Amino acid sequence: MEYKERGTRQLYEIYAYVIDFLPYGKPSSKPGYRPGPVIQIVGENYFTLLEANVRNSVTLKVHDRVYVGKNKREEVTYIIGRIGYDELTTNAKMELANVVERIVLSQEERFMSFFNTSQAVTPRMHSLELIPGIGKKYMWQIIDEREKRRFTSFEDLQKRVNIPHPARLITKRIIEELSGESKYRLFTRAS
């Protein structure tokens, strides 16, 4: 769902995955903090990290998919706001890679499009090289193979280029972007 405000385009998550459930809430000094159960979640489109209040009668588990859009929400009562990687609980940090990999695998077509259409970021660096584990050698193999025929799946990419676990490499890249370790953003939006 996209909303326009004052000439700028604001992008919002519609669904997110739970990376931690805090049934007794979280001690916080944030203004506007509402007591009650809290979840830390990662959005499935832009990998936005969020905190939200949960209805008192609802118990959620890690990996649960919840609606966080603008319409009536069943599990979530209030989106507290965006949070940074450093604000995640220890449990949320431990679960983040598993949940992100699950999202990546469920959106295989989106990431195949990246491998099939990615371009240079600077005159000396290609966006493929920003993926951990892909250097010049793999980059050129991917470019050569995609010119012959588009990649259709992670399995196809792995077979034709002999690249190990493409979904895990994408997941590592997303975690790097979320944790602030990277200057360039390929899959997440800036905080």
* Residue given tokens 């997110």 in the structure block: 16
Q: Which residue has the higher pLDDT, 91 or 190?
A: 91
Give the pLDDT confidence score for residue 32 in this predicted structure. 56
Whether 5 has a pLDDT exceeding 70, the answer reads no
Give the pLDDT confidence score for residue 190 in this predicted structure. 73
Q: Where are the domains of the chain?
A: 2-84, 107-178
Whether 77 has a pLDDT exceeding 90, the answer reads yes
pLDDT tens digits along 65-75: 999 999 999 99
Where residue 1 falls among pLDDT bands split at 50, 70, 90?
A: very low
CATH architecture for segment(s) 2-84: Beta Barrel (2.40)
Which tokens sit at 132? Answer: 């951990």
The CATH code that applies to domain 107-178 is 1.10.150.280
* Residue given tokens 């909303």 in the structure block: 3
Alpha-carbon distance of 77 to 94, in angstroms, equals: 25
pLDDT tens digits along 87-129: 999 999 999 999 999 999 999 999 999 999 999 999 999 999 9
Distances (CA, A) of 78 to 14, 102, 129: 14, 25, 39
Model's pTM, two decimal places? 0.89
Q: Which residue has the higher pLDDT, 2 or 14?
A: 14
Alpha-carbon distance of 48 to 41, in angstroms, equals: 8
DSSP codes, 4-38: EETTEEEE--SEEEEEEEETT------TT---S-E
Whether 7 has a pLDDT exceeding 70, the answer reads no
Mean per-residue pLDDT for 47-73? 94
* Residue given tokens 């830390």 in the structure block: 40
pLDDT tens digits along 132-187: 999 999 999 999 999 999 999 999 999 999 999 999 999 999 999 999 988 899 99
